[in-house]
């Protein structure tokens, strides 16, 4: 087994087990053999087969993205960014989402799968080149899904979604539910098969996460059985919860308690649970509820929250606040959810919005948010071998260029990376000891081919949008250009 050493890194972010925190280190060597780190510190003396020059580099652990939807969101680029437009938000007859996303317009299952593969590859290219080495893909399984994830070289958590009810927006301004428990059970069974296949995948980089879709679309029985499966297999469990006002209102209408309180009462709010978003809890300023217990319940249960600030900021919504959740004792993790899939941008926005929501510049700090993007995500996924540079951890490493103009001066290179340079300074990425990004370009993905696939899928969806919109509106009406075309 060959050994590679990154020699004399100007700056490194190492995991200090005694302090239980990430720390800066100067003039460090990081050595890895196969897919494991064997040394992180000063002056590595062991055998070396390959040396990577660390001068002028920041070496940090790969980021951990616990919540993303890779198969569809990039196809909405240039279309869905201003989705708060009511014409977009409640346009479809069968599901309250834009009518031109994959699944609506593809004539054949083959064409649909091709579009999803292209979207997934494009999203993972963005993730890798912004320093993400682990991603959880909350997806609907499609032909070639697992092979597409594995082929990109990223460490992927396959999270096939299923639910008992579909959202329906017949009027365009209310959400209803079409319940079909039998269909939900069939989807659950298919999801189990997909997760088992992920765990068996020969790449060794795929794992599984149990993913009932939303708190308001899953029956109590399906949620209980999901937790049982997660406990039996040792897998994490995730569920979109309190992601919007309507699911808060719907669960309180059904049960007289908040979604978090209902999950706690039925016994599925446990340390295995990752709550997707968990924004509209009973303390949120948009919610007028008599209790203020949700944060305490989450913290006591050991559950985690997947925070994805960018997409909700488009709706004028934000979590109140990241610092407040941390002070309550909640394990925070980060995700991208939708495009752009850029974790460094999510970290930056998480810091900014927390200060706005907390109404104080000291509501949080970059160290806390970086912890969430690395250790917090690893903990949420039940892992202690990712999100850190330490002997025994996986060799998931990111090298950033300290010489990039946006990184200079490099007094605090993490601040410079997050608040100024972002992915522009990411030069190299290793996953499982394998180089997957060199000179800022992913080596494992044909980016031009993925982009062409996205363009084809979007064009087909836009061209036929009117046939699926409840009012027969075309794409130009549903999503007008941000500026008018010159006459």
C-alpha neighbours within 13 Å on the C-beta side of residue 68? 32
Contacts of 254 (CB under 8 A, 6+ apart): none
Residue among 349, 343, 342 nearest 321 (CA): 349
Predicted model pTM: 0.95
Structure token pair of residue 228:
């049982």
Whether 262 contacts 281, CB under 8 Å:
no
Distance between CA atoms of residues 228 and 375, nearest Å = 26
Compute CA distances 158 → 100, 166, 235, 346, 418, whole Å: 25, 22, 11, 21, 28
Q: Provide the CA 298 distance to its chain's centre, in angstroms.
A: 20
Dihedral of alpha carbons 351, 357, 362, 368, sign: negative
Rounded Cα distance, 76 and 83, in Å:
10
Task: Match 């879709």 to its residue by tokens.
Answer: 213
DSSP at 315: T
Residue 259: Cβ within 10 Å count? 29
Work out the angle at residue 134's Cα, subtended by the Cα atoms of residues 61 and 334, and round it to the nearest 5 degrees.
85
Predicted pLDDT of residue 470 = 75
Contact criterion met (CB below 8 Å) for 277 and 312:
yes
For residue 363, the model assigns a pLDDT of: 95
* Contact criterion met (CB below 8 Å) for 369 and 347: yes
Mean pLDDT in the chain?
92
> Quick one: DSSP state of residue 162?
E
Query: What are the start and end residues of each CATH 3.20.20.140 domain in the chain?
Result: 63-380
Could you say which of 1.10.3720.10, 3.20.20.140, 3.40.50.620, 3.40.50.10540 is the CATH number of the domain covering 63-380?
3.20.20.140
Task: Calculate the CA 395 to chain-centre distance.
Answer: 21
- pLDDT for 310 equals 94
In the predicted model, residues of the chain with pLDDT beneath 70 are 83-109, 172
DSSP type of residue 408: -
- Compute the distance between CA of residue 24 and CA of residue 15 in angstroms, rounded to an integer: 9
Q: Which H or E run contains 4?
A: strand 3-16
The predicted structure's pLDDT at residue 83: 60
Whether the link from the prior residue into 142 is cis, omega within 30° of 0, is no
Among the four given CATH numbers 2.30.40.10, 3.40.50.720, 2.60.40.10, 3.40.50.300, the one describing domain 3-61+390-442: 2.30.40.10
Q: Where in the chain is the domain with CATH 2.30.40.10?
A: 3-61+390-442
Q: Write down the pLDDT at residue 258.
A: 98
The runs of H, that is alpha helices, within 330-419 are 343-358, 366-371, 377-380, 413-416
The answer to whether residues 310 and 345 touch, using CB atoms and an 8 Å cutoff, is yes
- The alpha helices in 10-108, defined as continuous H runs, are 86-89
Bridge partners of 166, per DSSP, are 178
Instruction: Count Cβ atoms below 10 Å from residue 50 Cβ, excluding itself.
Output: 9
CA separation for the pair 109, 4 (Å, rounded): 44
Q: Give the per-residue pLDDT at 436.
A: 98
């Amino acid at each position: 087994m060959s050994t590679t050493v990154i020699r004399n890194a100007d700056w490194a972010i190492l995991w200090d087990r005694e302090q239980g925190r990430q720390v800066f280190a100067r003039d460090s060597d990081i050595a890895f053999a196969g897919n494991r780190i064997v040394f992180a510190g000063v002056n590595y003396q062991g055998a070396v087969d390959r040396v990577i020059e660390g001068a002028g580099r920041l070496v940090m652990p790969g980021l951990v993205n616990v919540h993303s939807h890779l198969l569809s969101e990039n196809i909405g680029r240039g279309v869905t960014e201003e989705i708060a437009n009511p014409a977009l938000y409640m346009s479809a007859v069968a599901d309250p989402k834009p009518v031109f996303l994959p699944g609506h317009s593809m004539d054949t299952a083959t064409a649909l799968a091709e579009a999803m593969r292209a979207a997934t590859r494009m999203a993972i290219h963005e993730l890798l080149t912004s320093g993400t080495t682990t991603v959880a893909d909350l997806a609907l399984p499609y032909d070639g899904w697992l092979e597409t994830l594995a082929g990109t070289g990223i460490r992927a958590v396959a999270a096939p979604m299923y639910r008992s009810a579909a959202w329906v927006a017949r009027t365009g301004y209310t959400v209803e539910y079409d319940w079909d428990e039998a269909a939900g059970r069939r989807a659950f069974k298919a999801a189990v098969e997909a997760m088992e296949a992920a765990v068996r995948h020969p790449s060794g980089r795929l794992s599984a996460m149990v993913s009932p879709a939303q708190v308001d679309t899953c029956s109590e029985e399906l949620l209980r059985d999901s937790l049982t499966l997660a406990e039996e297999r040792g897998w994490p469990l995730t569920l979109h919860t309190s992601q919007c006002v309507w699911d808060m209102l719907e669960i309180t209408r059904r049960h007289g308690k908040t979604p978090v309180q209902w999950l706690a009462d039925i016994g599925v709010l446990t340390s295995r649970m990752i709550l997707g978003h968990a924004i509209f809890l009973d303390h949120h300023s948009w919610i007028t509820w008599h209790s203020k217990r949700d944060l305490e319940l989450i913290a006591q249960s050991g559950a985690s929250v997947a925070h994805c600030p960018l997409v909700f900021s488009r709706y004028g919504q934000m979590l109140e606040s990241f610092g407040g959740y941390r002070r309550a004792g909640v394990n925070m993790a980060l995700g991208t959810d939708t495009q752009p899939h850029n974790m460094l941008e999510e970290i930056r926005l998480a810091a900014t919005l927390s200060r706005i929501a907390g109404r104080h510049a000291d509501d949080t700090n970059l160290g806390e948010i970086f912890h969430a993007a690395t250790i917090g995500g690893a903990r949420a996924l039940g892992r202690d071998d990712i999100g850190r540079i330490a002997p025994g951890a996986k060799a998931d490493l990111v090298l950033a260029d300290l010489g990039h103009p946006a990184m200079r001066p490099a007094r605090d290179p993490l601040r410079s990376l997050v608040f100024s340079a972002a992915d522009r300074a990411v030069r190299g990425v290793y996953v499982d000891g394998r180089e997957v990004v060199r000179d800022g370009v992913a080596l494992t993905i044909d980016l031009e081919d993925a982009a062409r696939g996205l363009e084809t899928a979007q064009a087909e969806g836009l061209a036929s949008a009117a046939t699926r919109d409840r009012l027969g509106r075309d794409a130009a009406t549903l999503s007008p250009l941000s500026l008018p075309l010159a006459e």
